[in-house]
């Protein structure tokens, strides 16, 4: 089956797309002795037993992104890989919260990644837009600073905000003010929820934060009322199958709920989340649906159409992209 049809990707963390070869290149650029790291040794860092292990590895990768030029390079390489898979539009999470934690000025970093996106658009035929991502563990005040930065660049590629990280340490109620600020400024709203916490985290994202999309959302299947709510309102759920197995959000050997969610009539969008760190790609995620979860060609093509429908685009822009889908 040819899976190279036009698609969008809407749940994709820039820092989680850094391939081991690129991380080695950056380490050498910043003074690491040649041979100190092999690609195989870096790849072993991209193995996790649980969600906390993944968060620690993600933090380790970000510590080796030291200059705006580093961020520009990983953006360029990401967009080239996406374009090769016929991704025409991507909304990419940029962890402004991690930059602030590293005491790294956010503005030159964002300007470097946005410039790489603008350069790639005519060359590769892919449009990149950016979601400023805050980190739950850093608290609500830090999230508000991330919102202020996103507002600064609204109209310059920034389209929305998100929060990731540990749902238990940072329940959605903590971020009411940050999301109210973002909404008032016209930013679009997505929330990681129901990944490592239960349905109550998704309810909080919807009721307390006004989330327009839910990131992950696998816990929704534990609450029939929530499933009905998501179906009735057609609130998109950003599904990341391989990621969920790698972090333990879905136990090894357990059936991923993606098929159940699809058959229940939810609006699903398929994504790769942190493809380098989870050894996957967007086309591999679609292939996994077909090979392991019983999706037909017609169903995965419908999911690709959903990816454009759920994007933070105008209706006219969505119609333009949907016109590419046959």
**pLDDT band of 35, cuts 50, 70, 90:** low
Q: What percent of the chain has pLDDT over 70?
A: 98
Average pLDDT for residues 12-20, to the nearest whole number?
96
State how far the Cα of 190 lies from the Cα of 237, in Å rounded to an integer. Answer: 10
pLDDT at 1 over 80: no
- Find how far residue 16's CA is from the centre of its chain: 9
State how far the Cα of 8 lies from the Cα of 61, in Å rounded to an integer. Answer: 25
Q: Residue 178 to residues 96, 166, 208: CA-CA distances in angstroms?
A: 14, 17, 11
The 10s digit of each residue's pLDDT in 211-232 is 999 999 999 999 999 999 999 9
State how far the Cα of 4 lies from the Cα of 291, in Å rounded to an integer. Answer: 16
Instruction: Characterise 92 by phi-psi region: left (phi > 0), alpha (psi -120 to 50), beta (else).
Output: beta
pLDDT at 68 over 60: yes
Average pLDDT for residues 55-83, to the nearest whole number?
94
- In the structure, how many helices (H) and strands (E) does the chain have? 15, 8
Position 134 scores a pLDDT of 97
Position 28 scores a pLDDT of 83
State how far the Cα of 323 lies from the Cα of 75, in Å rounded to an integer. Answer: 27
Q: Quick one: DSSP state of residue 219?
A: G
**pLDDT band of 33, cuts 50, 70, 90:** low
Residues 6+ apart with CB under 8 A from 71: 14, 65, 109, 112, 113
State how far the Cα of 31 lies from the Cα of 54, in Å rounded to an integer. Answer: 26
CA triple 183-186-187, angle to 5 deg: 75
pLDDT at 39 over 90: no
- Is residue 80 part of the annotated active site? The answer reads no
The 10s digit of each residue's pLDDT in 173-185 is 999 999 999 999 9
Position 36 scores a pLDDT of 63
Q: Flag the least confident range among 39-43, 241-245, 258-262.
A: 39-43
DSSP assignment string, 255-274: PPTHHHHHHTT--EEE--BS
Q: What percent of the chain has pLDDT over 90?
A: 85
**pLDDT band of 52, cuts 50, 70, 90:** confident
Position 82 scores a pLDDT of 98
CA triple 4-283-157, angle to 5 deg: 90
HEC profile of 167-216: CCCCCHHHHHHHHHHHHHCCCEEEEEECCCCCHHHHHHHHHCCCCCEEEE
For residues 216 and 249, is the Cβ–Cβ distance under 8 A?
yes
pTM for this prediction: 0.95
pLDDT at 326 over 90: no
**pLDDT band of 48, cuts 50, 70, 90:** confident
Average pLDDT for residues 27-48, to the nearest whole number?
77
Q: Pick from 325, 247, 275: which is nearest to 93 by CA?
A: 275
Mean residue pLDDT of the chain comes to: 95
Out of 19, 142, 195, 285, the active site residue is 195
Spell out a b/e string for 228-265, using b for 16 or more CB atoms within 10 Å of the CB, else e.
ebbeeeebbbbbbbbbbbbbbbbeeeeebbbeebbebe
């Amino acid at each position: 089956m040819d899976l190279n049809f036009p698609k969008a990707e809407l749940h994709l963390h820039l820092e989680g797309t850094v391939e081991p070869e690129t991380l080695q290149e950056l380490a050498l650029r910043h003074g690491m002795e040649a041979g100190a790291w092999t690609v195989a040794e870096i790849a072993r860092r991209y193995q996790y037993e649980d969600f906390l292990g993944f968060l620690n590895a993600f933090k380790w990768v970000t510590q080796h992104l030291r200059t705006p030029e580093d961020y520009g390079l990983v953006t360029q390489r990401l967009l080239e890989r996406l374009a090769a898979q016929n991704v025409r539009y991507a909304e990419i999470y940029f962890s402004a919260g991690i930059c602030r934690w590293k005491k790294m000025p956010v503005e030159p970093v964002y300007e470097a990644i946005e410039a790489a996106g603008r350069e790639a658009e005519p060359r590769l035929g892919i449009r990149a837009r950016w979601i400023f991502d805050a980190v739950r563990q850093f608290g609500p005040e830090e999230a508000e600073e991330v919102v202020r930065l996103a507002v600064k660049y609204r109209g310059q590629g920034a389209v929305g905000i998100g929060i990731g990280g540990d749902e238990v340490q940072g329940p959605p109620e903590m971020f009411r003010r940050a999301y109210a600020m973002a909404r008032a400024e016209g930013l679009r709203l997505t929330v990681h929820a129901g990944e490592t916490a239960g349905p109550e985290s998704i309810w909080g994202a919807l009721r307390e934060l006004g989330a327009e999309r839910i990131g992950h959302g696998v816990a929704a299947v534990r609450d029939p009322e929530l499933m009905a709510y998501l179906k009735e309102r057609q609130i998109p759920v950003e599904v990341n199958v391989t990621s969920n197995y790698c972090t333990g959000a879905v136990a090894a050997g357990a059936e991923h709920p993606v098929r159940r969610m699809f058959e229940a009539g939810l609006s699903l969008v398929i994504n790769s989340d942190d493809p380098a760190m989870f050894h996957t790609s967007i086309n591999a995620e679609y292939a996994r649906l077909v090979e392991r979860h019983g999706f037909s060609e017609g169903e995965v093509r419908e999911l690709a159409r959903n990816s454009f429908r759920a994007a933070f685009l105008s209706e006219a822009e969505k119609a333009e992209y949907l016109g590419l889908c046959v």
